[in-house]
């Protein structure tokens, strides 16, 4: 898929993220927008997933370990044509589009996540199972930078290297912000590259909003055959909506009507 096509899909995804959070009056918008480009790339270019194989074991898997960014996952599945739900039911009572994704609710949700770090660990088990079953499909796991303050993230990294899980790629949404402020002012889990390498993983970095840079990082991951990989994607929280960018206010707040209309107008202008 060419970059212009990917950009159009990403803009549509961002519009639906803003739309869902606005109508729900609740949801995590900033971290959903920051990871939109890289998740769009995975679903529309990299991953082997479509309507024909969505219920099959023999396909690539995506684990949204930062499960609070569920608007991103629902919006991408919708854009891909894999979700047959009214997005305006997001976070509603009895809706299948819950605030954290549940694999018991929808096809295409490959792991129930929410408690930070657990998706990172579950991805290890999924990759081990693939190897044991002789299934050569890949596991992709998106994690947040603040999520890396959880100890079980690093236990998972040790296991991913020990079991030589070359079929597992982690993506770090490195936007530098979390609920309580900047990473360095909270616990400060950096430096990421050196730490991941110390745990035995191969690490590649990219601009998480540049499709050429993203593509190059994943092509490098494809060459690794002896351990898991980490793509450190440098991103901007709230990317695509000017007044949301790099502002911790938009970690978990919903826009009011005026802000919503401005955001949708900005995104529409990008088309």
| Of 73, 7, 71, 68, nearest in space to 41 by CA | 7
**Residue 187 confidence (pLDDT):** 86
- Residue 93's contacts (CB-CB under 8 Å, 6 or more residues apart) are none
Q: Which residue has the tokens 């096809």?
A: 107
Confidence grade of residue 264 (pLDDT, cut at 50, 70, 90): very high
- The domain in which residue 26 lies consists of 3-270
Predicted structure pTM score: 0.97
Domain of 159, CATH number, reads 3.40.50.970
Helix (H, G, I), strand (E, B) or coil at 162: helix
Query: Is there a contact between 188 and 201 (Cβ–Cβ < 8 Å)?
Result: no
Average pLDDT over residues 29-45: 98
Confidence grade of residue 260 (pLDDT, cut at 50, 70, 90): very high
**Residue 139 confidence (pLDDT):** 98
Q: How many CB atoms lie within 10 A of CB 75?
A: 28
CA 111 to chain centre: 12
Query: Is there a contact between 193 and 203 (Cβ–Cβ < 8 Å)?
Result: yes
Q: How many domains does the chain have?
A: 1
**Residue 207 confidence (pLDDT):** 98
- Residue 46's contacts (CB-CB under 8 Å, 6 or more residues apart) are 60, 140, 218
Helix (H, G, I), strand (E, B) or coil at 28: coil
């Amino acid at each position: 898929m060419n970059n212009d096509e990917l950009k159009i899909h990403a803009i549509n995804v961002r519009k639906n993220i803003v739309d869902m959070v606005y109508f729900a009056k609740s949801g995590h918008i900033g971290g959903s927008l920051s990871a939109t480009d890289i998740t769009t790339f995975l679903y529309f270019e990299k991953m082997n997933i479509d309507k024909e194989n969505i219920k099959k074991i023999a396909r690539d898997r995506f684990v949204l370990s930062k499960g609070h960014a569920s608007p991103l996952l629902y919006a991408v599945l919708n854009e891909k044509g894999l979700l047959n739900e009214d997005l305006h039911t997001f976070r509603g009572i009895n809706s299948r589009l819950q605030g954290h994704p549940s694999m018991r609710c929808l096809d295409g949700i490959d792991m129930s996540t929410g408690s930070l770090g657990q998706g990172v660990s579950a991805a290890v088990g999924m990759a081990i199972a693939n190897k044991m079953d002789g299934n050569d499909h890949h596991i992709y796991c998106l994690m947040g930078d603040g999520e890396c303050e959880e100890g079980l993230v690093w236990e998972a990294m040790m296991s991913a290297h020990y079991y030589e899980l070359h079929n597992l790629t982690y993506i770090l949404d490195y936007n530098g912000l979390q609920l309580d402020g900047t990473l360095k002012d909270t616990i400060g889990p950096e430096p990421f590259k050196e730490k991941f390498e110390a745990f035995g993983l191969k690490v590649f970095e990219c601009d998480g909003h540049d499709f050429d840079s993203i593509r190059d990082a994943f092509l490098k991951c494809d060459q690794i055959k002896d351990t898991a990989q980490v793509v450190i994607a440098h991103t901007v929280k709230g990317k695509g909506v000017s007044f949301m960018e790099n502002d911790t206010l938009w970690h978990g707040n919903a826009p009011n009507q005026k802000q919503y209309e401005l955001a949708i107008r900005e995104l529409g202008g990008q088309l």
